[in-house]
Amino acid sequence: MQNLVSPAEAVKVIESGDRVFIHSACAAPKLLIQAMTNRAAELKNVEIVQLHTEGPAPYTDEKVKDSFRVNALFIGGNVRRAVWEGRADYIPIFLSEVPILFRSRRLPLNVAMVQVSPPDRHGFCSLGISVDATRAAVEVADHVIAQINPQMPRTHGDGLVHISKFDSMVESNEAIPEIFPAEQTAIEIAIAKLISQNLVEDRATLQMGIGAIPDAVLAQLGGHKDLGIHTEMFAEGVIDLVEKGVITGKYKKVHPGIIVTGFLMGTRRLYDFVDDNPLVRALDIEYVNDVHIIRRNPRVTAINSAIEVDLTGQVSSDSIGTKFYSGVGGQMDFIRGASLSQGGKPIIALPSVTSKGVSRISKFLNQGAGVVTTRAHVHYVVTEYGIAELYGKNIRQRAKNLIEIAHPDHREELDKYAFEVLKVH
């Protein structure tokens, strides 16, 4: 391969003041990240643009704060403290609009660092398990550096990039980070059963957000028929349903018979499942999360989590009070798409209390908390205590329904507030 260099040589193109994009989720190119960080003494004010990434983020260390500053489009665990301490920034944005941000040059990119599969006999590499907004970044960046890794799965869809697009390449043979599903709690299983038994219909098209509850729902769907998948991401639970014949995609209107996703996070079993599998298409997130595309599928059932929901139905998902925690992501894309789908069901699912016993059905959102899904968009809220259907309900009806699914220890306090402030009798 031409333009094959060492990681240290590849990142020499980065200059002070540059804006550098890093490949998303489990595809973050570790060798290039470390090589770039090693140049900290030579660089000033390099802006790192990224969605959530797995693995280390050494460029967020306080020791290199004058050299690198993250501008996060979604806050992952490896940059959260830097955001909280003011050494990194956060851009609230719908996931579907991140590619537009790049393609319109409102956020021009000097360098994109990506990890790809080896080229095929025609010279095409694959962005693998993370196409999302990375496809757009590769298209528009002034300089693209590729980490070629034979352990990166080759996915079908929009992730194919010809080797001529890469200005320089490095070789690696590192394991892709694996995300193992957490053991499901009794609360998560209870929520999953309520959703699977009452809200997920046969022939539905599913979207699952990140988290234990969507994974738990998948585990409860073994008795369903002809489900489809059109989602920003999916994890390992989908494989079991494909093997059981539950997921067929037979009744989807957009890409029938095909699992559509923007990125993947899971174990090697998932990566092997999607490798060169024409059943799965990893597509540009501007398309995957387009409300007009989502709504064309029937019975879109979107399952997303939240930090808290107030008694009027406002949903906070990206912040804990004034502390930014994650991001807007694709929640609103799919909440709106599902609500416009024929027979669709947009669902917010969350435990009734935090690990410290604080009610997540709240009188009002914590001071500084951001609204991701508005009270006008919310349809169903589910806790382990039941399902509150809020669509078309007035404020007093909403408050009553939400109190009924709150933890019993908090219902009296919520009742009192609803009576005094919202005039719920």
Active site residues: 232
Q: Do the Cβ atoms of 18 and 47 come closer than 8 Å?
A: yes
Q: Do the Cβ atoms of 334 and 346 come closer than 8 Å?
A: yes
**Residue 145's closest CA among 119, 159, 165?**
165
Distances (CA, A) of 98 to 41, 90, 165, 167, 322: 31, 13, 21, 23, 23
Q: Is 365 helix (H, G, I), strand (E, B) or coil?
A: coil
Continuous segment of H or E residues that includes residue 371: none
Residue 408 is which amino acid? P
Residue reference for tokens 């000097």: 110
Phi, psi of 393 (to 5 degrees): -95, 145
Q: Is 257 helix (H, G, I), strand (E, B) or coil?
A: coil
Q: Give dist(CA 40, CA 36) in Å, integer.
A: 7
Q: Give dist(CA 351, CA 425) in Å, integer.
A: 26
**Residue 289's closest CA among 51, 20, 22?**
51
Q: Do the Cβ atoms of 109 and 20 come closer than 8 Å?
A: yes
Give strand pairing partners of 194.
none
**Residue 32's closest CA among 178, 177, 179, 172?**
172
Q: Do the Cβ atoms of 90 and 75 come closer than 8 Å?
A: yes
